[in-house]
Amino acid sequence: MAVAEVTDQTFEAEILKSDKPAVVDFWAEWCGPCRAIAPIIKDLATRYGDRVQIAKLDVDANPAVAGKFGIRAIPTVLAFRNGQVVGQLQGARPRADFEAFVEKLLA
Residue among 31, 44, 52, 89 flagged as catalytic: 31
Catalytic annotation on 34?
yes
Catalytic annotation on 73?
no
Residue among 4, 24, 34, 77 flagged as catalytic: 34
CB of 92 within 8 A of CB of 37?
yes
Point out the residues that are catalytic: 31, 34
